[in-house]
Amino acid sequence: MSATQAPESSTGHTSAVSPIETDALIIGAGPAGLFQAFQLGLQGIASHLVDALPHVGGQCAQLYGHKPIYDIPGIPVCTGTELAQLLDRQIAPMQVPRHLSQQIESLRQREDGRWLAQTTAGTAFAARSIFIAAGVGAFVPKALKVPGVDDLRPNQLHYHPLQLDMAIGRSVLVYGGDEEAVSAAIACASPLSCGANTGAGAAKTYLMHRRDAFQAEPGQLARLQQLRDSGAIEVVIGQITEARHAAGQLSAVQWMDGEGNEHPLSVDMLLVFLGISPRLGPISDWGLAIERKQLVVDPATQATSAAGIYAVGDIVTYPGKKKLILCAFHEAAMAAFAAAEYLQGEKPLLQYTTTSAKLHGILGVSHPGAQ
Ligand SMILES: Cc1cc2nc3c(=O)[nH]c(=O)nc-3n(C[C@H](O)[C@H](O)[C@H](O)COP(=O)(O)OP(=O)(O)OC[C@H]3O[C@@H](n4cnc5c(N)ncnc54)[C@H](O)[C@@H]3O)c2cc1C
């Protein structure tokens, strides 16, 4: 299984390593989580960010990266990806460590009051405060559910891999019909993009989809057609019904064509692109007050029903809640002020980034005449 993406059925790890001690842990690096890191930084509170995706930006980057957003205050128009990049740039001075491609799967309180959080990759945190910015849930790849898959040894099945070096010299089946699947198949069949430093590619590349219609940019579709014509990519129209293996070593897949006939196909690596979708997952088991899959918070503080745990963005509900990015930004500021009082024992002063020398220090900027 890929190190970059754990599928929905992943059960996670138990960690023997000591937890990372931090004042604040932010679960989710969508717009709410990113801006939460900024607001905490302004309060002098160091944080860590965790996300199930291999990149920051949440829904903006994952669901509508190339589409325009018109209602971010002060930005007449930007794409989802551009907004994620701007938010990421804004937190650069805070140097927030990020732990991507891993899902927080458990959260419990230690005897000393700290919250112990564990990820599916085995990272553990002992945090004085938690900020749940989990949106509509953790974005995880849809798992391939056919006989034999669960018995495969590691490194033979990868979900939505970002790097393809492991495909060099292998007989690879790319499974899926979207842009990511098409581009992975092209990369496997094009030595220079698959193994950039070696000039090698996959020994054989198959691309399997249930229909002979692929969703990708026209340029990519044209390149796919060229590689099909040259025989570098063999397209198979059908669905996998079984992963065949000997003692966990993948040897072939069984697949079914449109007429219901089954065939074997010899391959030794599977790259699966069945889509990425949000799963609320373990959050509903953490004992927090929840209403219709949303965490109940006090809008004055964004506090949940547990002391030291705050929640912001699409995951929360309160009277009048709107699932808009600008509302998430406001909530992040409210949560940071409340957490500063909780962690530092006194109400923080409201200071302006325009004029406060303290905030300029945090932001790494200097202005003559600052107070
Ligand atoms: C097509 C579309 C267009 C939109 N257009 C607009 C618009 O124009 N203007 C606007 O204001 N809003 C728009 N929205 C809504 C906006 O995208 C959301 O309100 C916003 O993304 C919510 O931000 P968030 O950070 O709360 O959640 P998300 O963006 O969902 O991010 C949450 C992150 O948390 C991660 N996560 C969840 N659980 C865990 C866990 N247990 N461990 C690790 N990571 C976890 C997820 O992987 C995800 O990356 C649009 C939404 C869609 C789908």
Q: pLDDT per residue over 82-139, tens digit each?
A: 999 999 999 999 999 999 999 999 999 999 999 999 999 999 999 999 999 999 999 9
Confirm or reject: Cβ of 49 under 6 Å from ligand 1.
no
Tell me the pTM: 0.84
pLDDT at 182: 96
In this structure, which residue's CA is closest to atom 26 in ligand 1? 313
33 CA distance to ligand 1 middle (Å):
9
Check if 20-140+277-363 and 144-274 are the same fold. yes
Please tell me the distance between residue 327's alpha carbon and the centre of ligand 1 in angstroms.
Answer: 12
- Mean pLDDT, residues 9-35: 81
| Per-residue model confidence as pLDDT tens digits over 159-199 | 988 778 899 999 999 999 999 999 999 999 986 555 445 55
Does residue 7 carry a pLDDT above 90? no
Range 209-228 average pLDDT: 96
User: 258 vs 51, 234, 263, CA distance in Å?
Assistant: 38, 17, 12
Q: Whose CA is nearest to atom 42 of ligand 1?
A: 103
CB 272 within 8 A of CB 243: no
Domain boundaries, the chain: 20-140+277-363, 144-274
What pLDDT does 10 receive? 44
- The model's confidence at residue 38, banded by pLDDT at 50, 70 and 90, is very high
CA of 242 to the centre of ligand 1 (A): 35
Measured distance between the N- and C-terminal CA atoms of the chain, rounded to whole angstroms: 54
Could you tell me which CATH number the domain at 144-274 has? 3.50.50.60
Q: What are 180's two structure tokens?
A: 């990511």
Ligand 1 centroid to Cα of residue 285, in Å, is 21
CATH superfamily of 20-140+277-363: FAD/NAD(P)-binding domain (3.50.50.60)
Average pLDDT, the chain: 91
pLDDT for 4 beyond 50: no
Q: Is 257 within 8 Å of 238 (Cβ atoms)?
A: yes
| Residue 148 near ligand 1, beta carbon < 6 Å | no
Q: From the CB of 135, is ligand 1 less than 6 Å away? A: yes
Which residue among 60, 66, 71, 83 has the greatest number of ligand 1 atoms within 8 angstroms of its CB, and so is best to mutate? 60
Task: For strands 115-119 and 124-132, give the pairing.
Answer: antiparallel
Q: Percentage of the chain with pLDDT > 90? A: 82
| Angle ∠(115,121,125) on CA atoms, nearest 5 | 20
